[in-house]
């Protein structure tokens, strides 16, 4: 199972990489694998305010349509435009080029409610 140290994780299988006051968000390799071939990604528009655990986008695969949930509260400051033409990047590189959005954190301590890599790994092993 591909879980990266240094990231925060949600129970809904999103990851968050914090750099300064901004967090990059994507779905985990576990989620990408279980969704199958991803054919469409809809991220919120730049400027959208998101709430922690609130639905803020959609990932569609050949198997299912799943919501993307914001791991933290804040404002979307960038979306990965490359996914519009190549959503399959999420399958091939979920922790790199397959990122979905960047959020300016409204409350940085909110990351304390998320799992670290070890806790997420343990969580996934129970599924």
- Where do the structural domains in the chain lie, given as residue ranges? 8-105
Round to whole Å and give the CA distance between 76 and 92.
24
Which letter, b or e, does each residue of 12-51 get, where b requires 16 or more Cβ atoms within 10 Å of its Cβ?
bbbbbbbeeeebbbbbbbbbbeebeebeebbbbeeebebe
Each residue of 11-58: pLDDT tens digit?
A: 999 999 999 999 999 999 999 999 999 999 999 999 999 999 999 999
Round to whole Å and give the CA distance between 107 and 104.
9
CATH for the stretch 8-105: 2.40.50.100
Rg (CA), the chain: 13
Q: How confident is the model at residue 2 (pLDDT cuts 50, 70, 90)?
A: confident
Round to whole Å and give the CA distance between 122 and 87.
28
At 51 the pLDDT is 97
Eight-state DSSP code of residue 115:
B
Eight-state DSSP code of residue 109:
G
Each residue of 69-116: pLDDT tens digit?
A: 999 999 999 999 999 999 999 999 999 999 999 999 999 999 999 999
At 125 the pLDDT is 96
Q: What DSSP string runs through 11-45?
A: TTSEEEEEETTEEEEEE-HHHHHHH-SEEEEEPPP
């Amino acid at each position: 199972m591909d879980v990266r140290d240094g990231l925060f994780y949600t129970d809904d299988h999103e990851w968050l990489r914090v750099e300064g006051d901004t967090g990059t968000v994507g779905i985990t390799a576990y989620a990408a694998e279980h969704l199958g071939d991803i054919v469409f990604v809809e991220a919120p528009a730049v400027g959208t305010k998101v709430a922690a655990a609130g639905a803020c986008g959609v990932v569609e695969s050949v198997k299912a349509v799943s919501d993307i949930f914001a791991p933290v509260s804040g404002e979307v400051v960038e979306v990965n435009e490359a996914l519009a033409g190549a959503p399959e990047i999420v399958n091939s590189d979920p922790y790199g080029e397959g990122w979905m959005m960047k959020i300016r954190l409204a409350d940085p301590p909110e990351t304390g409610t998320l799992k670290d890599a070890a806790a997420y790994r343990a969580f996934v092993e129970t599924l």
